[in-house]
Amino acid sequence: MIKEGDLIVIWIDGRRIYLTKVDPKKRFSSDKGYIDMENVVGKDFGEKVQLSTGREAYILKPTPMDIYKGLKRPTQVLYPKDVAYILYLLGVSPGATVIEAGTGSGFMTISMAYFLGKESKIISYDVRQDTQNSARKNAEILGLGDRITFKIGDIRERIDETNVDAIFLDMPDPWNAIETSYASLSPSGSLVIFVPTVVQVEKTYLSMKDKFIDVHAEELMSREYQLKENAVRPKSIGVWHTGYLIYGRKLLKGD
């Protein structure tokens, strides 16, 4: 049963999906009505509740997609389609040590902490304290703060950790962080990079090709469908290009 402090989703319709924590002293409000949170305590996930207007809503257990939609975003976040594939490319499992730069709003950081579990070490670097503070708050709200080490630092100059399993870079000039990434990675460790333009892809590839093997670049596209009786078809508006993913594995020798 739902208790005080639980993270829940209040689902009203496809456009009104709200991520919130249960606080019996507070009231959840929307344009479709409100509900006193004390009335949510003791209910089961999946139950229907009634808002003040008589409109029905459902109490659901949050999924990573709900978390993605509910995060506070001082910066642009990676889309779930890219995050899922990045996790696959990183090739890591519970117990791994992963370096990330930059932190941004923290959705990739949180995703790694969520899927890799308590045994793993997620170390996230950023040069901006303000955005990292927001990411830290997001992680704490979700109960994942103790799985992540946040660091302020420029990885183009230095990465403190060595022999790490994988590194993910989301920064404007990743080609300037290839040397430090190479030094930090364990042999055969994966380096995955996200960039938005083809110019960045080329510059990054040229900086990687002598130190990494199996280097390739990809982009992913996702298309949602409109679901209506006798009118199922692709939606007219969707997410097409988001960015390019570059991947490689460290060679034991860079020559």
Annotated binding site for S-adenosyl-L-methionine: 126, 154, 170
- Cβ atoms of 82 and 194 within 8 Å: the answer is yes
Where b means 16+ CB within 10 Å and e means fewer, 213-251 reads eeeebeebeeeeeeeeeeeeeeeeeeeeebbbbbbbbbe
The tokens for 235 are 């939606």
Please give the Cα distance from 165 to 96 (Å, whole number).
6
Annotated binding site: 126, 154, 170
- Cβ atoms of 52 and 33 within 8 Å: the answer is yes
